[in-house]
Amino acid sequence: MNLLRSFVRASPTFRLCKTHLRTWSGFRLASTSSKHHSFIANIVLPLSERLANDQPQRALKFFHSYMKRKPLGSETRFVAYVKAISLFMNHGHLTSAGTVYVRMQAEGYIPPRSIQASLAILRSLSHERSEDALLRAAGKAFYSEGFDEQDFRAVLRIIYRQTRLSSSVYDALLTLFIQSRGSEDYILSVKTEAWLASIRTRRGSFGQVLRYPPELLTHSRSPACDEAREDELTTLRNMAERDPEMAPVIHSALRRMEFSGGAQDRIFYNVILSTMEAKQRYEDAFTLYRMLMASDIAILPDVFTFGTLRRALAAVSRPRSIRTRRFKRPDNTPSLRKLFQNILHSHHQFVSNSVPAVAVNGSLLNKIIADLMAARDYAAAYVAVRAYRILKIPITLATYRAVVCSLMVRLEAEKYELAWSGDPQQYWAYRFLGYRIQKVDICLAESILEGARNPALHLEPLRTWTEKEVIRHAGDIGAYMAAENTADVFGVTHRNISHECAGKSRYRVPTGVNLLGMLEGGIDEFSATPLQRILRRALLAEHPRTFIAPAKKISMDIHHARSEMIPPQEKKKAQASLSWREGTHHS
């Protein structure tokens, strides 16, 4: 096995492939679907590289040279000027940004109002770094004709990136912008509220300047606000009273709800939950989450909400140690099974009512399965894998890695005790493999995949690779990499498994090398049945002794997990579309 690992990792093609994969995401800026993809690749990326290396003069010279020699269309030239000015301002080079700004005006283009306001504010701060100078420059921009809320968000974004002002300055800017609208009852959009919450969160404080008076917390609601909102309003009021730092954002939400009579948008609660999770205030996060689940469909949690809750659950479920002892697990913490049930409930509500929202995707499911495997809840992981078919989500390489790599971690942890144990049968690792484990490597991953071949449920010893198979497989991988092939090759990037008792059924699974990330293949969709067989074997190995048939025992465990993970209204539909009990016995 060491021969295979050293041969693959020593290959220069393998090292180049890893470097290429690490740097590939940066080239997504030059997407072929973009209308201006060529100028982005030829102007924006070179400018970004030079500015990142602190070479503003070279960047400015390159931009002038490119705009002079390239015959660009009017619309493309306008976008190029705007992008260049924004890049120079984002990196703090106001002189270069002003030079491009003057040239843009000389060619007859009118810069956007957000660019004009941002440049004026940053120039005033460069001459006099005081809050009064900032507000004077901002006031001229806010009161100018045509300045709207979108321009206000762009100005805030530039100021945030270039300065380290306190959150009270942003409160003053917000007050000034509201005054420029000519009405004290002006309601900010959800995007602006979310951006302000994000800025204040990253600054570490929500500020002490409250734009809304405390009387708003006890303000009588308008008749349009029905009783269904009472729980939501009460929860927000209690949160504002307990935490002064969150009060400005919560007051903004209450103001919208008081005057509009409607619920707050889902994006607002996603920002609040993310803030609570970042500040490790898990009890408040779970309280707000339960309120969202009990509310109407307008604020029902979506995939971003569940992703935040999954991170919070992972944080409070960590083993007790000197680092985690100061964090007490909240009493209202939901279980992973309950979280999965709520995900399916939200998905059912969104689909049934044609709501343009997503409650679950493949990435979230893969992470939940990884958490279930880490908790050694193999029955729940089995139910989650079966749900892929109902939700029409493909089984990817990440799904296989979440299951197989978790099993390998547990095998690695138990192999040392197996070495000296006089009764290996008491260890899960021995029952799962059927023999004493010597080392954790690619051969072990292949042995785990062998457990997916036989549909019969038993714990007979798994077949291990021979030395000849290791050498032959290493040669196939070496030839594949030497040819710099990117296509999928059977036996190298994937393989099909079958059993003589299963007739013509063949299932596609990844190889051990592909599974451990030593080789990347193009195929990223595999069969679910082999994964279910591996989980059933791992679940059976959890029981040292059983007095009933193994299939019946596993069926009981899976049935119990399914009753906790499938919402009541979806159980009949799930049974109609898939026979869970039949899949337990025959998959």
Give per-residue pLDDT as tens, 377-417: 999 999 999 999 888 899 988 899 899 989 988 888 888 77
DSSP annotation of 501 reads G
Residue 102: inside a domain, yes or no? no
Mind giving me the DSSP string for 256-269? HHHHH-SPPPHHHH
Which of 6-15, 97-106, 126-135, 226-235 is most confident?
A: 97-106
- Specify whether 284 is located in the same domain as 397: no
Q: Looking at the structure, tell me whether residues 554 and 452 fall in a common domain.
A: yes
For residue 449, tell me if it sits in a domain: yes
Closest to 449 measured CA to CA, from 382, 412, 495? 495
Measuring CA to CA, which residue among 239, 245, 248, 304 is closest to residue 271?
Answer: 304
38 has pLDDT over 50: yes
The predicted model gives 141-145 an average pLDDT of 80
- Cα 142 from Cα 148, distance rounded (Å): 8
User: Would residue 91 count as lying in a domain?
Assistant: no
Alpha carbon 48 to chain centroid, angstroms? 26
- Asked if 410 and 292 sit in the same domain, the reply is no
Q: Residue 467: what pLDDT?
A: 59
- The answer to whether residue 107 sits within a structural domain is no
Domain boundary among the residues 299, 321, 340 is at 299
Question: Is residue 296 very low, low, confident or very high in pLDDT (cuts 50, 70, 90)?
Answer: confident
Which range marks the domain in which residue 249 is found? 187-299
Which DSSP string corresponds to 85-103?
HHHHHHTT-HHHHHHHHHH
482 lies in the same domain as 388 = yes
Question: Rounded distance, CA 323 to CA 343, Å?
Answer: 31
In a domain, 340, yes or no: no
Q: What's the confidence (pLDDT) of residue 476?
A: 56
Cα–chain-centroid distance for residue 204? 22
Greater model confidence, 217 or 568: 568
Residues 177 and 156: their CA atoms lie apart, in Å, by 11
The answer on 575 and 457 residing in a single domain is: yes
Q: Provide the pLDDT for residue 337.
A: 94
Mean pLDDT of 110-120: 81
pLDDT digits (tens, 9 = 90+) for 175-205: 888 888 887 777 777 778 777 776 766 655 4
Distances 498 to 44, 468, 489, 524 between C-alpha atoms, Å = 52, 22, 18, 20
Q: What is the pLDDT of residue 199?
A: 72
Residue 535 phi, psi (nearest 5): -65, -35
Regarding whether 406 and 279 lie in a shared domain, the answer is no
Determine the pLDDT at residue 373.
Answer: 93
Cβ neighbours of residue 434 closer than 8 Å, sequence gap 6 or more: 459, 460, 461, 462
- The three-class DSSP label of residue 64 is helix
* 3-class DSSP state of 509: strand
Least confident of 69-73, 103-107, 250-254, 582-586: 582-586
- The answer to whether the beta carbons of residues 251 and 240 sit under 8 Å apart is yes
The token pair at 215 is 């009387």
Give pLDDT, residue 496. 66
Say which DSSP state 334 is in.
P
Query: 276, 278, 297, 296: which is closest to 286 by C-alpha?
Result: 276
Domain boundary among 279, 299, 319: 299
Q: What does each C-alpha distance from 414 to 103, 108, 181, 459 come to in angstroms?
A: 69, 73, 67, 18
Contact predicate 147/123, CB 8 Å: no
Domains of the chain: total: 2
How confident is the model over 39-53, as pLDDT tens digits?
566 778 888 888 888
pLDDT in the model for residue 374: 92
Backbone angles phi, psi at 253, to 5 degrees: -65, -40
DSSP classification of residue 78 = H
Is residue 197 domain-resident? yes
Write down the pLDDT at residue 344.
93
Say whether pLDDT at 155 is over 60.
yes
Which pLDDT does position 525 carry in this prediction?
Answer: 80
Highest mean pLDDT among 106-115, 118-127, 347-356, 562-571 belongs to 347-356
Q: Which residue has the tokens 């006089």?
A: 422
Please tell me whether residues 460 and 573 are part of one structural domain: yes
Could you tell me if 538 and 401 lie in one domain? yes
The domain boundary residue, chosen from 240, 267, 299: 299
Q: Are residues 272 and 414 in the same domain?
A: no
Whether residues 292 and 196 share a domain: the answer is yes
Most confidently modeled of 488-502, 542-556, 563-577? 542-556
**404 plus 517 within the same structural domain:** yes
Can you tell me the mean pLDDT for 427-433? 84
Average model confidence (pLDDT) across the chain: 73
- Would you say residue 10 lies in a domain? no
> Is 547 within a domain?
yes
Other Cβ atoms less than 10 A from the Cβ of 147: the count is 20
Q: Are residues 409 and 269 in the same domain?
A: no
Q: Are 246 and 209 in contact (CB under 8 A)?
A: no
pLDDT the model gives residue 367: 93
What's the average model confidence in pLDDT over 3-16? Answer: 41
Confidence of residue 569 (pLDDT cuts 50, 70, 90): low
Six-digit token pair at 247?
């009060």
Tokens of 299: 């604020």
